[in-house]
């Protein structure tokens, strides 16, 4: 390690007293989150890896973890300290931070794992928690009862119940110290759920998922995924989740995508001891290597051959550094992916690197009974592996809530392109969330006029389409006002009125992806979601020259002509006045459909709001602003993602359209139906003046909200009397709005200056 200059890092600053134990989320991607856990030994940013330190054998000195790697937290074992007289006395006299020589967050385990390995431990339930408190740990762990995957359901139930039975005494013994409340339940879905629900009711600070070490050791990653999916939806969302004993970087992206915040690793040292190197795609043996799997800083000046020649202690230490560096690098990749909104894609990519991980990933993303499962689309496109994953899932039909929990936390639309990753793309949760909203809310034209029995299906080319169709669309609008136009995208049909909406409009992939010939049976099935299955489908290939005349010829041969063309299929000219009228209707439909899909307006409400409105259009013909009949700016379509931004005037108008009562608290059942408008978030008197001035809403000031809010949703901020104070973008689900105590809840986009009824 000689090439390194050792620099000392400053000791951490304690958190504010009032924040101790609080967890805030500063960035998220679906269920994955970047959090900050407030402790007296620093604010720990998550996802974080806690290296396991055995107080008797230190492969890497804790001080080095802090100074060189900036590791903010570690985990050690209070039972080992308690059992060894010398360690115990030193810890009681000087505190655990001095004993370990580490200034950051120290979590301790309780001896449960020792009881799993060696049989019973002789320490008492309250005794071990009090001991951890008295040696000054930051996060203690209660003595839970380990549930093994080979246990019967009855035995596991006993572990769950006994752990719950010990919970209150442990919480009482912990005093001011933060306490881990481990979740047990083996591989039984209902017992994991029961454990999560019952343990979640006590005043714990963190919830580790216990009993998973033997599952991971046997590479039963599908069971690992099931344990997560059975547990996490039922835990209080404002508490961090720790995957007990999970230190293999291969599992991080999937775990983070499912909501894990903390990991601990003994693997970096254990694997080093028998010459194994961790990588994000599995494990490799030093003896087989000529090159490093990843060139980490600690091996920059050496080769595997040179390391093989070191004596065993030096080799073990260097490999431990190597493993730790690889592990930390994968945590960093996960964190960046959460910030970038790409964590699911990272998990998807990693799933291809190990068969057991692939099996787990396919199991998660293949959930045919979920409300968001897009049966007709996946049916003919799936490869055998997905079909097999579905057939083998023994509990098919029982997991839809968990999958919906994942999908409901997704933000859409998102800016940036959506890279095609094969069939997996279709099951990305944020794509399913966007499709779900489109399919539930978008409505075709209902008028019985020319073209209303037909559907013009554009296919064969990626967007943007508007340049190629700018001449044609006003013509169709004028001559065939009942005709619907949809575009076939690789992730489903997109109404032309929403032609710039992400992700549909921005799938980045090879050309052939867009050139897929329409499968009319499949299309008809998708159309049935909109009640359009009986329409006459008129497919037209967008690629190639002369799109306008080809469309007109196709319409003519389908009998939907009515004045678009003459007998000989030549175009009937449109006067400027008629063209402008038609364009106006197209603009209105564009904004109206965005209000329907993204603001949850009913078609009549959106139509009423846009009655007599006008539009500001940029020089390439895209709507920039929608103005009401009184000339008030009410909304702006966003160019980057096809979304819609609300203005203060728009918020006022939508507030008045609400028919439901103001939410009186957090009622899971009070979900706005499709078409019932934007969700309301009710804030208390203290927050009111700030919101009126356009300041963000913080957790702790929220009295209630509608159920069913997703991160990224536009919402109206009201006081307890239902008066409008402002509008903004939620960073949370409704459940999270209820639970969190710290951090920004709603990013306010506009304050009303004074309350408006």
Active site residues: 109
Assess contact for 635 and 626: CB atoms under 8 A. Answer: yes
Least distance (Å) between residue 317 CB and ligand GUN: 24
- Nearer to ligand GUN (CB atom), residue 227 or residue 457: 227
Stretch that binds ligand GUN, among 86-94, 110-118, 624-632, 664-672 (CB under 6 A): 110-118
Residue 209 or 505: the one with the smaller Cβ distance to ligand GUN is 209
Candidate residues 43, 196, 213, 432; the one interacting with ligand GUN per rule CB under 6 A: 213
In the list 59, 112, 130, 696, the residue contacting ligand GUN (rule: CB under 6 A) is 112
Question: Who's near 89: CB < 8 A, 6+ residues apart?
Answer: none
Residue closest to ligand GUN (Cβ): 210
Closest distance to ligand GUN from the beta carbon of 360 (Å)? 19
Of 23 and 244, which has the nearer Cβ to ligand GUN? 244
| Number of other CB atoms surrounding residue 754 within 10 Å | 9
Tokens of 736: 């999270």
650 lies in the site for ligand GUN, by CB under 6 A: no
DSSP 8-state code for residue 607: H
Binds ligand GUN (CB under 6 A): choice among 35, 149, 186, 245: 245
Least spacing, CB of residue 504 vs ligand GUN, in Å: 44
Stretch that binds ligand GUN, among 105-113, 400-408, 475-483, 700-708 (CB under 6 A): 105-113
Token pair 């396991």 in the structure block, residue: 52
Quote the distance between the C-alpha of residue 578 and its chain's center. 47
Beta bridge pairs of residue 644? 637
Angle at 19 between CA 103 and CA 27, to 5 degrees: 90
Query: Which residue, 110 or 636, has its beta carbon nearer to ligand GUN?
Result: 110
Q: Are 143 and 110 spatial neighbours (Cβ–Cβ below 8 Å)? A: yes
Choice between 23 and 146, CB closer to ligand GUN: 146
- How many helices (DSSP H) and strands (DSSP E) are in the chain? 30, 30
Q: Which backbone phi and psi does 283 adopt, to 5 degrees?
A: -125, 140
The answer to whether 181 contacts ligand GUN (rule: CB under 6 A) is no
Instruction: Please identify which residue in 104, 210, 474, 495 interacts with ligand GUN, judged by CB under 6 A.
Output: 210
- Residue listed under structure tokens 């009937």: 572
Burial per residue of 298-321, b for 16 or more beta-carbon CB atoms within 10 angstroms, e otherwise: bbeeeebeebeeeeeeebbbbbbb
Closest CA to 86 of 124, 115, 55: 55
> Residue 496 interacts with ligand GUN (CB under 6 A)?
no
**The token pair that represents 645 in the structure block:** 């931004």
Q: State how far the Cα of 572 lies from the Cα of 594, in Å rounded to an integer.
A: 31
What is the x/- site pattern for ligand GUN, positions 140-169, by CB under 6 A?
Answer: -x--x-x-----------------------
Q: How far apart, in Å, are the Cα atoms of 2 and each of 301, 550, 583?
A: 10, 73, 72
Q: Does 113 bind ligand GUN (CB under 6 A)?
A: yes
Q: Which two tokens stand for residue 540?
A: 């037209």
Shortest spacing between CB 113 and ligand GUN, in angstroms? 4
- If one asks whether residue 348 binds ligand GUN (CB under 6 A), the answer comes out as no
Of residues 160 and 213, the one with the C-beta less far from ligand GUN: 213
Q: Which stretch binds ligand GUN (CB under 6 A): 62-70, 108-116, 453-461, 534-542?
A: 108-116
- Does residue 223 interact with ligand GUN by CB under 6 A? no
Q: Return d(Cα 251, Cα 229) in angstroms, integer.
A: 15
- How far apart are the C-alpha atoms of 746 and 723, rounded to whole Å? 17
Choose between 24 and 144: whose C-beta lies nearer to ligand GUN.
144
User: Which one among 185, 211, 240, 429 touches ligand GUN, defined by CB under 6 A?
Assistant: 211
**Which residues have CB under 8 Å from 331's CB, separation 6+?**
47, 48, 49, 249, 252, 263
Using rule CB under 6 A, residue 109 touches ligand GUN: yes
Tracing tokens 């700030």 back to the chain, one arrives at: 690
Burial of residue 494 (CB within 10 Å: 0-12, 13-18, 19+) is buried
Choices 208-216, 248-256, 432-440, 446-454 (CB under 6 A): range interacting with ligand GUN:
208-216
The residue among 183 and 382 lying less far from ligand GUN, judged by its C-beta, is: 183
Site string for ligand GUN, 429-458 (x = CB under 6 A): ------------------------------
The span of 210-218, 416-424, 536-544, 749-757 binding ligand GUN (CB under 6 A) equals 210-218
User: Which positions lie near ligand GUN, rule CB under 6 A?
Assistant: 109-110, 112-113, 141, 144, 146, 182, 210-211, 213, 244-245
């Amino acid at each position: 390690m000689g090439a390194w200059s050792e620099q000392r890092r400053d000791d951490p600053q304690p958190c504010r007293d009032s924040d101790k134990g609080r967890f805030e989320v500063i960035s998220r991607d679906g269920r994955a989150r970047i959090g900050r856990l407030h402790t007296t030994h620093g604010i720990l940013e998550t996802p974080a890896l806690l290296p396991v330190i055995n107080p008797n054998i230190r492969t890497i000195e804790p001080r080095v973890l802090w100074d060189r790697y900036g590791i903010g937290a570690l985990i050690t074992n209070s039972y080992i300290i308690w059992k060894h007289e010398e360690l115990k006395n030193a810890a009681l006299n000087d505190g655990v931070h001095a004993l370990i020589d580490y200034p950051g967050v120290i979590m301790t385990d309780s001896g449960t794992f020792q009881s799993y390995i060696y049989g019973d431990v002789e320490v008492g339930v309250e005794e071990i928690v009090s001991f951890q408190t008295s040696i000054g740990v930051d996060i203690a762990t209660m003595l839970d009862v380990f549930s093994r995957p080979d246990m019967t359901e009855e035995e596991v139930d006993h572990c769950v119940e006994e752990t719950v039975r010990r919970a209150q005494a442990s919480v009482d013994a912990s005093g001011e110290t933060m306490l881990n409340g481990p979740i047990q339940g083996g591989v039984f879905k209902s017992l994991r759920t029961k454990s999560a629900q019952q343990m979640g009711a006590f005043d714990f600070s963190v919830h580790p998922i216990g009993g998973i070490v033997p599952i991971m050791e046997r590479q039963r990653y599908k069971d690992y995924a099931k344990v997560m999916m059975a547990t996490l939806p039922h835990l209080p969302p404002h508490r961090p989740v720790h995957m007990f004993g999970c230190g293999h970087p291969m599992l991080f992206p999937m775990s983070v995508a499912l909501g894990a915040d903390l990991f601990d690793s003994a693997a970096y040292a254990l694997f080093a001891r028998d010459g194994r190197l961790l990588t994000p795609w599995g494990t490799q043996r030093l003896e087989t290597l000529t090159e490093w799997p990843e060139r980490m800083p600690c091996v920059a000046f050496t080769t595997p051959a040179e390391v093989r020649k070191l004596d065993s202690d030096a080799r073990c230490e260097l490999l431990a550094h190597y493993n730790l560096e690889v592990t930390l690098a994968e945590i960093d990749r996960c964190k960046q992916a959460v910030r970038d909104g790409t964590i699911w894609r990272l998990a998807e990519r990693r799933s291809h690197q190990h068969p057991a991980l692939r099996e787990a990933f396919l199991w998660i993303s293949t959930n045919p009974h979920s409300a968001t499962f897009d049966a007709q689309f996946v049916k003919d496109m799936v490869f055998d592996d997905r079909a097999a994953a579905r057939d083998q899932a023994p509990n098919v039909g029982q997991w839809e809530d968990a999958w919906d929990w994942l999908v409901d936390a997704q933000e859409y639309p998102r800016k940036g392109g959506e890279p095609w990753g094969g069939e997996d793309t279709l099951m990305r949760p944020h794509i399913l969330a966007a499709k779900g909203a489109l399919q539930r809310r978008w409505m075709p034209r209902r008028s019985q006029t020319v073209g209303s029995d037909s559907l013009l299906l554009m296919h064969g080319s990626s967007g943007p389409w508007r340049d190629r169709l700018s001449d044609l669309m006003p013509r169709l609008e004028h001559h065939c006002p009942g005709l619907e136009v949809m575009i076939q995208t690789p992730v489903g049909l997109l109404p032309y009125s929403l032609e710039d909406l992400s992700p549909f409009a921005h799938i980045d992939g090879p050309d052939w992806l867009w050139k897929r010939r329409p499968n009319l049976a499949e299309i008809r099935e998708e159309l049935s979601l909109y009640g359009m299955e009986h329409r006459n489908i008129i497919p037209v290939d967008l690629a190639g020259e002369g799109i306008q005349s080809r469309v007109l010829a196709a319409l003519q041969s389908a009998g939907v002509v009515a004045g678009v063309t003459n007998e000989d299929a030549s175009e009937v000219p449109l006067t400027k006045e008629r063209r402008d009228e038609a364009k106006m209707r197209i603009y209105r439909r564009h904004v109206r459909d965005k209000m329907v899909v993204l603001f949850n307006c009913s078609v009549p409400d959106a139509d009423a709001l846009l009655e007599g409105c006008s539009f500001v259009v940029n020089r390439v013909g895209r709507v920039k602003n929608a103005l009401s009949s009184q000339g008030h700016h009410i909304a702006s379509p966003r160019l980057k993602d096809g979304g819609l931004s609300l203005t203060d005037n728009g918020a006022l108008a939508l507030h008045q359209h609400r028919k439901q009562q103001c939410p009186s608290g957090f009622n899971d059942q009070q979900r706005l139906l499709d078409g019932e408008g934007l969700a309301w978030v009710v804030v208390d008197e203290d927050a009111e003046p700030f919101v009126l001035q356009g300041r963000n809403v913080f957790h702790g000031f929220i009295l209630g909200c509608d159920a069913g809010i997703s991160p990224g949703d536009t919402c109206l901020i009201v006081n307890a009397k239902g008066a409008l104070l402002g509008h903004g973008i939620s960073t949370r689900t409704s459940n999270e709005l209820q639970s969190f105590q710290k951090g920004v809840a709603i990013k306010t986009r506009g304050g009303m200056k004074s309350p408006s009824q």
